[in-house]
Amino acid sequence: MKHFILYIFLLCGFSVQAQPGSGGGNKEQKIEALYVAYMTRELNLTEDDAQKFWPVHKQYDNEIRGVRNEADEIERQQAVLNIKKKYQDRFIKILGANRTNDFFVKDGEFRKKLVERLKNMRQQNQNNMKPRPQMRRNGLQ
């Protein structure tokens, strides 16, 4: 199983790296690799499961990403829900009902953790960029 996860990491890395014009691809690549490892572990994916799951997940993810341009928040949420319902049956055929539900839960958890971590990193960067007080020489100034 460890070899399989390593294979997934490498596969994701090469596929993202091979795409021309992907600015900031290194961060995207790391996030994608973390996501694949996290979901593989949390869903207890076997090699057979993973071979079936990840191509369907890629289609699902592409559709979810396409929704972001919706102007109205309620319409956006409804569109995302519709996509989840559309893919639910496909995921059930691969993972079963319980693991499909776990997928939707774990997917949301991962995204929340990612957003939280990015916010924390931004705050740390902003704190580090604040001007430092100038040192006074001989107590004068």
Per residue in 24-67, pLDDT (tens digit) is 568 889 999 999 999 999 999 999 999 999 999 999 999 999 98
- Cite the DSSP H helix spans in the chain: 2-18, 25-42, 47-66, 73-95, 97-129
Q: What is the mean pLDDT of residues 103-118?
A: 94
Kindly tell me if the per-residue pLDDT of 18 is higher than 80. Answer: no
At residue 95, the pLDDT reads 97
Q: What is the tens place of the pLDDT at every residue in 70-100?
A: 678 999 999 999 999 999 999 999 999 999 9
Of residues 127 and 44, the one with the higher pLDDT is 44
Q: How far apart are CA 88 and CA 19, in angstroms?
A: 29
Q: Give domain limits for the chain.
A: 2-16+27-122
Q: 10, exposed or middle or buried, with CB in 10 Å at 0-12, 13-18, 19+? A: exposed
pTM (2 decimals)? 0.68
